[in-house]
Structure 1
């Protein structure tokens, strides 16, 4: 289908897709008693979204979602709960500093920068696991590196998240249908953009080194 009709069809198709995986995310999060289901369901949702973005449109959604949920259950929970714990520690630290005297308050700004950096790096952690299938330690390290090297993608991620927040606030009825899936789409799309640019840099660097070796 081409033209306006084709455009409406594609939009409608994406709306149905996002609503469906949002439903699956809610169901599987509840199946894991919320705390243990949230991260595996999020990983599975990112996997589906990644496949759609790179052009794998005809995948069996439920089967793929369920397979990833089971496969990544332990790994996703380990990294997710670790990030939650680290985030809570940083939150306690900033709370103590904010209530302390003026001398200690001198470290407030650096601590806020660290917290913002931690949050932004965390947004890349699960996309890295989905895209590269790395180990937990590598995912944590690479998420910070990619966040620093990809300011444009990080900015797009922030803008998209803010836009979704205001949309869901303005129309709360959309939240149970598109809240998680639209955010996952923004995060995965921005992360893939960052991955692509970094991979091209690496390829260019490798090619340059190879040419230098040949020249010698």
Structure 2
């Protein structure tokens, strides 16, 4: 049944709300062990407890977090490219299982980078304020790098070496994309801390959508410029 005008807009809005909420809930269900550990860290903020809980957290990141995040990105990519999805659950599960091996190994490397950053940040912030600030900026860049890496991994067929290299080039070489990803996600996370149900239904899926959309627009510009150079 086709709708137009106000009813058509209302139907389209409801469809997008359903898409975001279903995929977000699937991600949350997949990452329940990780979320439980993070919740325990918040409840027991002692240094010893955090260190003990950080071990299973580090193990679960490549097993659950990165494969599920990749599945969310691949799913929203289908939406942006207007690919047919008969079932949101099946689409998410297909991307999760199909990309699991690659996202697991990539996630292990990215988890190691996160661990090194956490250790360095905690060390340098106690040593000197400016060094701590510098490490904070490095952490922000690492976050954008990870988001760009996942976007690349679901959009292009490349070796892991090429993905890591190109993600670095995109992160440091395109300030517009960098700040688009950073500011869009920062605003989303800020709102999610204030409005709790956003995290439950929208935060991760909307974050993936905003990030991949910015990345996709960037790739279109690059490919357009490359096509013009070839035609000369």
Same fold (TM over 0.5): yes
For residue 55 of structure 1, give the secondary structure of its aligned residue in structure 2.
coil
Report the Cα distance in structure 2 between the residues aligned to 1:88 and 1:31, rounded to whole angstroms.
Answer: 19
Deviates more, 1:26-35 or 1:153-162: 26-35
1:186 counterpart (174, 192, 210): 210
Counterpart position of 2:19 = 17
Counterpart position of 2:98 = 71
Listed as ranges, the matches of 1:31-180 within 5 Å are 35=61, 36-100=63-127, 111-180=135-204
Report the Cα distance in structure 2 between the residues aligned to 1:111 and 1:165, rounded to whole angstroms.
Answer: 21
For residue 37 of structure 1, give the secondary structure of its aligned residue in structure 2.
helix
Change (3 A) 1:155 1:3: farther
Change (3 A) 1:97 1:38: closer
Report the Cα distance in structure 2 between the residues aligned to 1:178 and 1:199, rounded to whole angstroms.
Answer: 31
- TM-superposed deviation, 1:107: 5.5
Structure 2 residues not aligned, in runs of 5+: 35-58
Change (3 A) 1:169 1:125: same
Report the Cα distance in structure 2 between the residues aligned to 1:174 and 1:98, rounded to whole angstroms.
Answer: 32
Report the Cα distance in structure 1 between the residues aligned to 2:5 and 2:90, rounded to whole angstroms.
Answer: 33
Structure 1 residues not aligned, in runs of 5+: 212-216
Report the Cα distance in structure 2 between the residues aligned to 1:14 and 1:31, rounded to whole angstroms.
Answer: 28
Q: TM-score, normalised by structure 2?
A: 0.77
Is residue 27 of structure 1 aligned with residue 29 of structure 2? yes
1:30/1:37 contact within 8 Å kept: no
Change (3 A) 1:110 1:205: farther
Q: TM-score, normalised by structure 1?
A: 0.82
1:23/1:177 contact within 8 Å kept: yes
- TM-superposed deviation, 1:58: 3.9
- TM-superposed deviation, 1:69: 1.2
For residue 31 of structure 2, give the secondary structure of its aligned residue in structure 1.
helix
Q: CA RMSD in A?
A: 2.5
Counterpart position of 2:10 = 8
**How many residues are matched?**
205
Q: Is the radius of gyration larger for structure 1 or structure 2?
A: 1
